[in-house]
Amino acid sequence: MSSALTAVRFDHVDVVFGQRAQEAVGLLDQGAGRDSILDKTDCLVAVHDASVFVNEGEILVLMGLSGSGKSSLLRCINGLNRVTRGKVLVHDGNSQVDVATCDPETLRRLRRNRISMVFQQFGLMPWLTVRDNIGFGLDIRGVGKAERDRIVDEKIKLVRLDKFADKFSHELSGGMQQRVGLARAFATEADILLMDEPFSALDPLIREHLQDELIELQQKLKKTIVFVSHDLDEALKIGTRIAIMEAGRVVQFGVPEEIILNPVNDYVRQFVASMNPLTVLKGGTLMRPVADLAREPGGNTIQLDRAGKCRCQLDNRGRPMNLIVNGKPGELVPYSTELNLSKLPDHVMICGTERTPMRAAVTVRSQTKRPLVLVGDDGELLGVVGEHEIYRGMLRQSEYARVDGAGPM
């Protein structure tokens, strides 16, 4: 995503609460710790030297234990927390606005039009119906009734609450109340959504369901979301990028697979120790790339499995052709959860993409006894995920080539 626009960038951000904040910053530069600074200045260092970013259309999850600084950092984006030092750059049209230094009118405009927030405790007004809660922000902005009704109707249907439009918040379950909060944020049509532990007050099953709904909505709406969580399972499930915080500092920032495979210290290692890689790792991380696949004498035929029962040639664009599977002309079929893999003919191989989850690769291997073939956007062969690569993923070792030896794929 190197060509993507950066929607929000934190640039060496410090957030210090207290009257002697600048003195506290000076102590930070001298290497003093949080507790020492609190004792000497009565100032709380909430965030120190945070530098992370999120591109447009991505979900950045700020996560860590209570008191790690994640919510303090989030609230810098819409100016609810003042930045003591550093920049918070928000993409706005053709320019970048530094929320830390912009004038009050610019900040108000960003809050009205560019940034919306979803709170942990829903923040619904009990005297308003679902419909009126969703349209509240539009009323504040002076949107006309016809346009307001159109937008509200659209967002109510989006979160599947159209049958509850005239109910009050006390008549709704917790999960439904949170969906009203989501719809209200979507109704503003802001490009950037800030979500401060929005699901943490909900029961686990409802929480998991809303996570799935958020992912589904994000696929349709392509918002930029900054999401605060203390739950690594949640972070890895929904996050495009994750920043793990400890004592006000960002200790690791990266994509989920990178954090699972390469935790930078014991703090992160403890977080990821119990993670199931099936839920996080993708085919592109696991695969044996095409350049490393065995070739038959002459170099024109590539072996897709270690036993040589599955092989193909490549056309001039790198796409598989002349596929042979178990001695028969083969066929590539795209992976789908609707496929009954156990009943596929033995000349069929399943193909996926770099984003195909490890769980799918395991299912394909166990049901068909053949590796998952990964292809690119133009159908070019990228690599394969077989038994060997799956084992590597389960051991969370990113360099598949460390293990030698033959054996089935």
Number of domains in the chain: 2
Q: CA–CA distance from 106 to each of 10, 77, 93, 111, 397 (Å)? A: 18, 13, 13, 9, 47
Dump pLDDT digits (tens) for 303-353: 999 888 999 999 999 999 999 998 899 999 999 888 888 888 889 999 999
Dump pLDDT digits (tens) for 234-287: 888 889 999 999 999 999 999 988 888 889 999 998 888 777 777 788 888 889
Contact by Cβ (8 Å): 201, 35: no
What is the reported pLDDT for 398?
Answer: 45
Q: Is the pLDDT of residue 46 over 80?
A: yes
Contact by Cβ (8 Å): 159, 112: no
Dump pLDDT digits (tens) for 155-190: 888 778 888 888 888 888 777 887 887 778 777 778
What CATH code is carried by the domain that includes residue 214? 3.40.50.300
Dump pLDDT digits (tens) for 60-102: 999 998 899 999 999 999 999 999 999 999 999 888 999 999 9
What is the reported pLDDT for 105?
Answer: 94
Range of the domain at 186: 6-275
Helix (H, G, I), strand (E, B) or coil at 407: coil
Q: Is the pLDDT of residue 209 over 90?
A: no
pLDDT grade for 405, boundaries at 50, 70 and 90: very low
- DSSP, residue by residue, 162-197: GGGTT-BGGGS-HHHHHHHHHHHHHHTT-SEEEEES
> Which one of 245, 275, 305 terminates a domain?
275
DSSP class of 112: I
What is the reported pLDDT for 312?
Answer: 93
What is the reported pLDDT for 171?
Answer: 84
Q: Considering only residues 138 and 28, tell me which one the structure prediction assigns the higher pLDDT.
A: 28
User: Do both 15 and 67 map to the same domain?
Assistant: yes
Backbone angles phi and psi of 295, in degrees to 5 = -120, 145
What is the reported pLDDT for 2?
Answer: 45
Pull the structure tokens for residue 319: 């796409």
User: Do both 310 and 292 map to the same domain?
Assistant: yes
What is the reported pLDDT for 400?
Answer: 38
Q: Closest Cα to residue 134, out of 115, 111, 110, 118?
A: 118
Q: Does residue 409 sit within a domain?
A: no
What CATH code is carried by the domain that includes residue 343? 3.10.580.10
**What is the average pLDDT across 370-391?**
92
> Which one of 227, 242, 275 terminates a domain?
275
* Bridge partners, residue 207, by sequence: none
d(CA 22, CA 15): 11
What is the reported pLDDT for 1?
Answer: 39
Instruction: Identify the H or E element spanning 100.
Output: none
**What is the average pLDDT across 23-33?**
93
Pull the structure tokens for residue 148: 């307001």
Pull the structure tokens for residue 300: 């024109």
Rounded mean pLDDT of the chain?
86
Q: Does residue 287 sit within a domain?
A: yes
Out of 139-148, 196-205, 263-272, 322-331, least confident range: 196-205
Q: CA–CA distance from 114 to each of 108, 111, 132, 350 (Å)? A: 10, 6, 21, 43
Q: Closest Cα to residue 365, out of 310, 285, 290?
A: 310
User: What is the pTM assigned to this prediction?
Assistant: 0.76
Helix (H, G, I), strand (E, B) or coil at 319: coil
User: Do both 288 and 347 map to the same domain?
Assistant: yes
User: Do both 82 and 115 map to the same domain?
Assistant: yes
Map tokens 């007050």 to a residue: 201
Q: Is 57 left (phi over 0), alpha (psi -120 to 50) or beta?
A: left
pLDDT grade for 3, boundaries at 50, 70 and 90: low
User: Do both 68 and 204 map to the same domain?
Assistant: yes
> Which one of 223, 255, 275 terminates a domain?
275
Pull the structure tokens for residue 56: 């447009």
